[in-house]
Chain A
Amino acid sequence: MPDHPPTLAPPGGPADQPPPADLSAPRFLVSLQAAVPDAVVALSHFVGDWTAIVAPARLLDVVGWLATAPEAAFDWCSDITATDWPPRPERFDVIYCLYSTRHRHRIRVKARVRDDEAIASVTGVWPAANWLEREVFDMFGIRFSGHPDLRRILMPDDWQGHPQRKDYPLEGPGELLLENPIDWLTLRQSRDEADIE
């Protein structure tokens, strides 16, 4: 066992580093903030990637603008995924990685959603989102309202639980399924620490 007690709390959320003061955001991000006011909660910049954190209710406005505005022209939906931060009330980050073939730039759009909350589907903007959102639903249990065909995709149809959640044990359900996800995260943390020693 490690010397220090396993009291290290699980991370409460992503770092989301704010952009350095001397770095100005790309022009389309500034325009976005002007065109869709109050939708962008924060901007983040880390190792060259820009991320716009948006309010989930305004997601469709934001991605709609990003997909159509000539200066943004994000015509290609690269990836949709999610991360799980159990201690946070808005537990999930849903992340949209977008790419513009015209300007060859990228942006990540991030929306924080609660467990009991559905987020709007972007399949109307990019049909490619169909399977990607299905996978997020399958793995995290995040519901997408307006999705044409929200079924499980990788796991069997009758599967219980959503494997990519942090409270879903690696070994599968049934063996180590703890009541409280925090307990399990703490356990994992202490195991990691033990490995390092």
Chain B
Amino acid sequence: MVDAVVIPLLKIVIVLVATLTAVSYMVLLERKVIAWTQARLGPMRVGPHGILQPIADALKLMIKEDITPARADRWVFTLAPILAMVPALIVYAVIPFGPAVEVFGRPVTLYITDINVGLLYVVSVTSVGVYGIILAGYASNSKYPMLASLRASAQLISYEVAVTLTLVSVVLVAGTLSLVGIVEAQREAHVWYLFAQPVAFALIVIGGLAETNRAPFDMPEAEQELTGGFHTEYSGMRFALFFLAEYANMIVVSSVATTLFLGGYLRPFPNVAAFGVLDIVPSWMWFLLKSFAFLYFFIWIRATLPRYRYDQLMRLGWKVLIPIAIANLVVTAIVRVLLVARVGADG
């Protein structure tokens, strides 16, 4: 009973609360980091060094008037932010924050569940998120959001194929779709997949930026071009949902990339006993540190680069990323077959 219901429920609550807090502080982190990049201070008023800013923001958004444009498609208009937010949250069900540990003498796994098609689940669920954007643009019945939603659809098609193909090559190397399995495979392989699959890693980073609508691929919400993009007509908490979904997605992408390429919750050199001292830092902390490095990279990119034009992203997606992804997949498959054949011959 406790193992089947209470502990999973507790874990879900903890992950949800932690995620939402992380998301709001992610916003603060981004503002701070970008401010420092740009030789300014960022939020300084609410709490010391603006530490309470996310709370003030949340309060403000909650008490804002919630406006639905008169000629909007009401149901879809309401549904869209939910559709953007929910997938971003349920992905956390399969993210392994750490291996099984003992809590009060009871073995507890530091992930909510480990399904054997974990990676497929991640890919599918995150793809649903973009429907939130498309529907928001459509339901607003307004021209700028509509253009943004068209951009989002075009963008989705351009990068999703490449990203998925790239993930397949990682799966080929690991031999499993389970995220925990992939981490453990990296332990057995004695190498992070960042080094085994560098091309795939680069593709995932680019695809991850596009997936989360982050600069330089933030066309659907390019405020300089499309005023606010797909959320132009949104206000109050519904706007906040879109906003939070974007940051939640960033964390998802960082977590997945960490799991796939940076050894997830493993400490550096997990098989070298000499580095055993590193075990002082708990495994989930390693995971967070690696994810944080990723997030920082995302912010850094945003502060540095101008924005791509959407036809250029399409060109990049179709003419560069997808061919590379396919080539990478083919090479990986051939090497894999050869290795298996040799192992089979040896065995």
Chains A and B share a contact (CB less than 8 Å): no
B positions within 8 Å CB-CB of A: none
